[in-house]
Every structure is written in C-alpha cells, then in structure tokens.
Amino acid sequence: MSAINQTATDIGPQTARSHQGNITIQDLSIVFGSGRSSFVAIENISLDITSGEFICIIGPSGCGKSTVLNAIAGFTHPATGQVLVDGQPVQKPGGDRGMVFQQPSLFPWKTVLSNVAHGPLMAGRSKQAALAIARDFLQIVGLANFENNYPMTLSGGMQQRVAIARALANYPRVLLMDEPFGALDAQTRFMMQENLLRLWEEFRITVIFVTHDIDEALLLGDRVIVMSAGPGQVIEDIRVDFERPRDADLLMDTRFLILKKKCFSLIKKESLLAFEQQKKSSIQKAGKHN
Amino acid sequence: MLEKSTIFDRLTLFLSIPIFLVIWEAISRAEIVNPVLFPPPSLVAVALYKWAVDGSLFLDLWMSLSRVIVGFVSGALAGVVIGILTGRYRLFSNLLTPLFQLLRPIPPIAFVPIVILWFGLSELGKWFLVFWGVFFTVWIAAHLGVQKVDETLIRAAQCLGTPDKKMLREVLFPASLPYIFVGLRTAVSISFYTLVAAELAGTFSGIAYRIDIAQQNLQVGQTIGGLVILGIVSAVADRGFGALSKRLVWWG
C-alpha cells in the first residue's frame, strides 16, 4: 500500500507538466536521399496539437506516418518547415519526448527495473530516486512483481508495457507511439488499448499514436489525422468526440461505424492512388531500361 | 536429433574415450602397427608420469599457458577497443580497416621467421605471435558487432535522454557483447594454434617445444603425451570460456 501512496507523492508534482506538450508542426516537408534518387516522404504538413490531446495518425502504408513521429522525436530533419514542442524547435532526440516502438526495444542485458530506471538515471537522478520512480511506474503498468525479470522472460505484451513504463518514467512532454501494438495478438492488443486509455486518463499527457488500424485510432483518439500517400499529406483531421471513458462497446456504436466508414473510404481511395502511382513509376522505370 | 538422455546414453557417453583407448592398446600390443612409432596408451601414460615426476611438465605447462594468457589478454583488449572504434567512427574505419583487412588473412604462422629476426628467441616474440592471431579475430568480431547493434535500441536510448557520450558504455558496448564473445571464443582456439607455431620456432620450454624435442629423441610416448596435454588444455579452455560467456552474456 505504501507504494501506492508513494506513487501519488512522487508523480503528483510532476503532473504540473500537464500544461506542457503543445506541439506545432508548420509546413513540414521531409526528403530522404539527395539528387535523382531523392524521395519526398511528407510534404507541407501543418498540425496543432494541444497539451493532453490524444492524436492518432492513420493512412495507407508508406504514407509517412512514422516519418512525422520521427521528426517530432528528432531522428529526421525537416527539408522545410519546423516542429515546435512547447515553442522550442526540435533539434535532436531527447528525454522530453518519450517513444514506444513497434518492437519493445528493451535493453536485454538489464532487468525490467533497470530498464525503466534508465531514463531517470540519464536525467541525473540518484540511483535510489531512479529506482523508486521505476518501481512506481512498474506498479502502474501492473508489472511490479516482475521487476527482477529479464525482458526475454516476458511475453510480447508485457514487454511492451515495460516499454511504456520506461517512456513514462522520464515524465515526457509527449508520448510518441509508433504502431506499438501492431505485433501483438488481437486479445493482447485489446487489453493494451484499454490499459493505455486508463494510463492516459490518469496522466493526461499528449499522445501521438501511429497505427494502420482504424478501429484502434477511433477507439483511442481525440482526433484522427488521415494521411495520403506519396508524398504524405494531411487529407482529413477528424474530431472524435465519443464520451470517455471508452470501452469495447463503442466498436458497435452507430456513430463509431459512420466515422469508421468515412476513414475506410478515405484510406481506400488513397491506397488505390498510391498503388496506381507505384505501378506508373515502375512502368516508367521499365521503359527506361528498354 | 538427440532427445532425452537415457541411462544408455550416459553409459555410451562415458565409454567413448575408454573404448578408444582399449582398441588403441590392443592394436599396438598386437603389433599390427609398429609399437615404437605408435606406442600403446599405457606407455604414453608412463611417459607422462615421468614427465610430471621430474617437474618439467609443470614448468612446460606454465610457460605455454603464460604465453597464451599474455597474448590472448593483450590481443583481446586491443581487438575489442580498436574494433569498437573502427566499427563506430568513420575516421578510424577509413584509416585502419583497409590495412587490417590486408593483414588479417595472412596466417599468423607465416610471421614466425620475421618474429625470430625481430625478437630472437625471447618471450616477447611468443607473446607477439599469439597476440597477432587473437587480435584480428577479436577485432573483426567487435567491428561487425558494434555495427550490427539494432538501430531501434539506439533510438530508444536517445528518447530516454541518453547523451551521445554515454551511448557507447550504456548501449553500444553491452549490445555488441554477444558478437564480441563469439570472436573471443574463436580466439581461444587460435591462441593455441599460434602458441604451437611460436614454440616450434625456437624456445627452451613449453608443451609444443617438448613435443618437438621428444620427437627428435624418438621418445614417441612423450610426443604423444604432449599432444594429449595440448588437447586437454585447449578443450578445457574452450569449454571453460564457453561456460563463462554463457554466464556473462546470457541474453546473446
């Protein structure tokens, strides 16, 4: 029980960050490669994300969903435009923007506890404080009993919960999630979605969640951003105002199905367009070879 | 392949070497082969006993092991450090990788003549040869290992606020350890190969030296005894290192 009280005291003051995590993306374009082999991944994307919003990004594969996340994380640099996090332009990756990847990407040589304590340690906290924070977050994701396990002894879903705890332990301004549940089986994915919603309702941290699953996007998000392919652009910014807390029943709701149909037809159109483009460019290439 | 081990399995496993020794003894005693050139294991054991009793076996063993240890430890340290540098930093890679890729395929044994010119019959020459054999094996393992570190692991560490200057210690080094240990284990065997070359080239003690001297005196029992010792020592070193690496890099 003391652990729970401690959770409240340790995490309480930090939620003062709740007014942080405003993200502004202005005319962002990202180009990979250079010269003739260059490739425009995303073009002129502008988005305003308010502190505490849950944003889902969907779109056909190859539309640059992940590139947007990588630009916010600081892994890729804009060709034009900029990304501002609380007014500051993003220069390079940092602990203030937590990220959860499709693969859990835990450090296999560290215990679950040390994995979660890594961020606080890097932020300069004492070992004792870092471990205390790590224990709190493991408790929150329901893995307190596994702190001494090594990652490879856990299931995929449990590993991903550790990865979420590890990202949150840094008290980031924003949590970036790149198809985090894409590799999990349907039951586990469903449980993870519900857990994530509960966590988010507790912390009210800004979340940007990339997925190719329309159900997932509509179940989780306050807004669903639909992107087009080649080059990636925002074609629709859908407000999803179903009341919270949400659960699985929502999937059968008529309003849900209407939005789902809308998203589906947008993505279908874009996927077909992208397919045509790929076909055309491969025919052009073949023509050049002849 | 092999499934659960039964009593029969354990018995046959246990009998492997004794059966071999009995057949060898019988063939030699029956003089199917020349027993002078192919003495039975009982005579090899007597030769080993004599070698041990006059104390020179332990001196020889110690000299050989010290050469392996000095050469292995220095070669492994240099290989790991330089391998991480060339694997991670373009400057080091540009300057060193072409040179190392040229030197690496030359069998270390081919350096024996020049090593004798450089170092005479001193211990330094033996250390150098073992070092040379170990270094390139460990270097290439560390070089490739550090390049094979999963990019997402590095990104995850960056998102947790790991500064660039701590990345090597916190992520790159531990993540490449499984590769490095494969290289180190190969280098254990290589250090024994080069040891033999080094001792045959001229020295005054050591297991391989004793094999050579015994051969010249037609003490075939001791010659074979020396091979047995080399076999046991390098097998123990290899198995020991394998067990050690399983404990140290259990996740690999």
**Full residue range of the structural domain in which residue B123 is found:** 40-248
Whole-angstrom Cα distance, residue A49 to residue A45? 13
A7-21, A104-118, A257-271: the lowest-pLDDT one = A7-21
Report d(CA B41, CA B46) in Å as an integer. Answer: 9
pLDDT value of residue B2: 57
Query: What is the number of structural domains in chain B?
Result: 1
Residue of A101, A109, A122 with shortest CB distance to B161: A122
Q: Residues with Cβ < 8 Å from A172, sequence gap 6 or more? A: A95, A96, A97, A98, A205
Q: Quick: pLDDT tens for A93-119.
A: 999 999 999 999 999 999 999 999 999
- Can you tell me the mean pLDDT for A70-94? 95
The whole-angstrom distance between A103's CA and the closest CA on chain B is 8
Q: Does domain A16-86+210-289 have CATH number 3.40.50.300?
A: yes
In a domain, B15, yes or no: no
Q: What H or E segment, with its residue span, contains residue A192?
A: helix A186-203
Q: Give yes or no for B9 touching A (CB within 8 A).
A: no
B171 touches chain A (CB under 8 A): yes
Provide the shortest C-alpha distance from residue A74 to chain B (in Å): 9
Which chain B residues are within 8 Å of A96, Cβ to Cβ? Answer: 161
Short-list B195, B231, B207, CA closest to B108: B195
Q: Rounded to whole angstroms, how far apart are CA atoms B252 and B53?
A: 44
* Inter-chain contacts counted by CB atoms under 8 A, chains A and B: 67
Confidence band for B3, pLDDT divided at 50, 70 and 90: low
Comparing alpha-carbon positions, the chain B residue that sits nearest to A102 is B152
Whether the pLDDT of residue A144 is over 80: the answer is yes
Q: Which residues of B touch A108 (CB under 8 A)?
A: 251
| Domain boundaries of chain A, sorted by first residue | 16-86+210-289
Tally of residues, chain B: 252
The letter for the amino acid at A56 is C
Nearest CA distance, A187 vs chain B (angstrom): 26
Is B56 a domain residue? Answer: yes
pLDDT on residue B1: 52
Computed from CA positions of residues B97, B98, B101, B102, in that sequence, does the dihedral angle turn out positive or negative? negative
The answer to whether residue B109 is domain-embedded is: yes
Q: Which residues of A touch B151 (CB under 8 A)?
A: none
DSSP string, A119-142: HHHHTT--HHHHHHHHHHHHHHTT
Token reading at A104: 């859990």
Contact A73 B162 (CB under 8 A): no
Q: Which of A73, A103, A122 is closest, CB to CB, to B162?
A: A122
pLDDT of residue B173: 95
Position B28 in a domain: no
What is the identity of the amino acid at B146? V
ipTM rounded to 2 decimals: 0.88
- Per-residue pLDDT band for A3 (boundaries 50, 70, 90) equals very low
- A73·B161 Cβ contact <8 A: no
Q: Which of B151, B154, B158, B160 to mutate to test the interface with A (most CBs of A within 10 A)?
A: B160
Domain membership flag for residue B14 = no
- What distance in Å separates residue B223's CA from the closest CA in chain A? 46
Any idea what the CATH number is for the domain that residue B114 is in?
Answer: 1.10.3720.10
Tell me which chain B residues have a C-beta less than 8 angstroms from the C-beta of A103: 152
